[in-house]
Structure 1
Amino acid sequence: MRRALANHELGTFVTILRAATGLSQLDLGNIVGLSQSTISMIETGDRDTLYDIRELVRFADACDIPRKVLLPVVLGTESGTLGLSPFSGESRTFEADEELAGVDRRSFTGSLLGLVTASGLDLIQVPDRADAAHVRYLRACLDGLGRQDQDLGGGAVLPQAVRLFSRARRIIDDSDYTDNVGHQLLMVTSDLGTLCGWLAYDNGDQKTARMLYREAGLLADGADDAGTSVHVYLNMAMQSSFLARVSGKAGMAREALRFADRASYLARHERSPRLHALIKLRQALAYVRLGNEAAFRRNIAQARDELQRGGHPDDALWTQFVTESEINGYEAMGYMDLGSPARSVDLYSAVVSDVRCSPRNRAYYRARLSSALLQCGDRAQAINEGLSILPDLGVRVTSRRTLNELQPVRAAAEQLAAEEFCVRFDQAARSFSAPDPGSRI
């Protein structure tokens, strides 16, 4: 897309956009207010509508494409580099993950709450009438953001995800649509809210994550769709288990179990093995935080049994990360809490050796492996494992959650005068805009 924009091949730009979102020419025309024939002529180069910069910007706004994405049109380069001076040796590189919500990443957290409240929604354009094409477009964007999260982590994806969530909420409030389209809008917007909550969680902002999950839950209730509600409850269970771990409060673990049990009840008629495996994993984590080792082991075994049933057409895209490696990761987390770090080391080692594991998850589990090694007393190896991922944290993997797992290793590195680890950890910490892990509820 950047290459097409840089070469002023705006017809190709439109074709790429349609291919990425799975829309027909008619669908895209409905979204941007043009006829199907006009979209066709733009793609074939028979009409130069988008060569008027005002029309190009209007087109981008209608699709909620950040205007900064259009920068290659002006610069004539797909890299989007702004040369400040040919002699200064300095340059600014356009990065699509920055300033997507009108602010840069460092100031984004302070602006997030405003964007997802009513006062921040007036800046977002919405159609007078929404139809099935708008729903498909939102769903395609949601799926794309989910894939980016697996690669990059919450920090890089959060700004644009929140903007898309806010736009979907504005459509629900301000646009006209049929009852069926309204129902679909509620479901996709709830899923967007759940994704945003997860991204905030991964970015270390627990208060914002909690607020977003509640918003997503209200939307899911409005849609009266079991699958959508299950998605929200399982994410809330994950966060509550984490808060139980960092706070030591049994009440948070009980809350996690209530959320997971509620998801289990709502999913009782669902046929997806991955979904039921994930429910068992969230229940297992809650039980271990309550000190119930027998229930933890039982649920881990049941999760494996569910996964062994194989794939199913009803497996949702957001459950695809549930694999044998993910079960090993949960089991390892449980044994860490139960005081058996040596068992965790073996399990975490198996997870990080799985080439199918996403970059974000592999980095997270390698950080957990580092902490487990430290608990086993192998401080040197713990530092080496942490060093293997620190160069990427805050750069290629923007997961504050992962960095937080390395904090005990940072303390050990300082005691051992392992300067390289300390310097790289501190550099990564400065690159994140999210609050410290103490941002708890």
Structure 2
Amino acid sequence: MAGILLFNLLLFFVIGVPVAYSMGFASVLAMVEGGLSLQVVIQRIFATLDSFPLMAIPFFILAGNIMEQSGISQRLINLANSIVGRMTGGLGMVTVLTAMFFASISGSSAATTAAIGSILIPAMVKRGFPRPFSTSVQAVSGELGVIIPPSIPMIIFALTAGSAISIGDLFIAGIGPGILISLSLMLTIYVLSKQNGYGLTALSPEERAAEEALTSWRGRVKAFKEAILPLLMPVIILGGIYGGIFTPTEAAAVAMAYAFVLGCFVYRTLKMAQLMEIFRNSVLATAIIMLIIGNAGLLGWVLTAEKVPDLVAEWFVSISDSPLVFLLLVNLLLLLAGMFLETGAAIVITAPILTPVAIQFGIDPIHFGMIMIVNLAVGMVTPPVGVNLFVACQIAGIRIEQILKSMLPFYGVLLLDILIVTYWPQLSLWLPSLLK
């Protein structure tokens, strides 16, 4: 039955059936072949979705959408610009730093790319950065949306990995890799801009005066004051979780309420007419994720019943009993999966299979979760299914093939980051251990 399941799953992927339906149809066909009652289908999907922690997903999505529509992006851009805007390649580094700030609010890679890309890609082009390079910078920066906490893929991993994994620990573990990737991208932008003379277009006297005012100490203090309230959201979320004040699910509800108060009553930039569109987009995004998770629960049940995780573990051990070799093979597998599958779908398919194997190799599940998420985040900027590439190219008005050359240095840096995250576990684990 397992062979039939995997064959049908690959077949549905190849012919273009959506991932959620592919998992559901393949599971049903395998169950029919195995003579199992189809009543189990509804039972397993319902049991998978009947989870209190899953409620955190719609709340975080709603909080991110409210922040995006409240004009928070410009405040975060001003803060980042005041810090690194006058350096070589300044606007490129502003893009990375702003993405890091916005990621701590949205929890979504595509949302991060869209929210700040519409402002910064035109600004970079105007400043003298080539359009393909500007688009590449925005695309790779957006992946921080799923690495910096709070992160929706982290919640999905914690709920599907088949082990008692704390969502709060995953959130905290993402800080180290997130900072590493941010700094490496900023360094790459600096070097490329220095070598190629990017960002040297002369400013008008008015623009020069505005830049000097923003990057002065007084301007930096002003920009920080304007952005401090949005930046408090991750502090409230993580502090509340680790302080025992509320659960991750309750933290998501607090984040949504906090975003609503900021948008409607503090900044007064969120109009009631916008709420219906925000609710609509949030419901659609939540429905898609829940459909994937529900069908993935059914798929995972069939795979477990057929002892596929045990077979996978035996296969890895037959190749090598070294954890280092296992992690290298996992990286290759996840990079390949990220090229063809959406991040959430890739997690719910691979996490229940690979996480128990990783634990058998003595790998901490929190560390393994970060390896999986960082790998699949890179998948968001690799064709053919790189979501961030499509979003950034749509904003910039260019085709994906036009930016692939400018993406090559970033691919090299991201692969190096993956190896560091993989083989330096304390980068992910030191902060959760310290807080405990």
TM-score bucket (shorter structure): under 0.3
Greater Rg over alpha carbons, structure: 1
TM-score by length of 2: 0.27
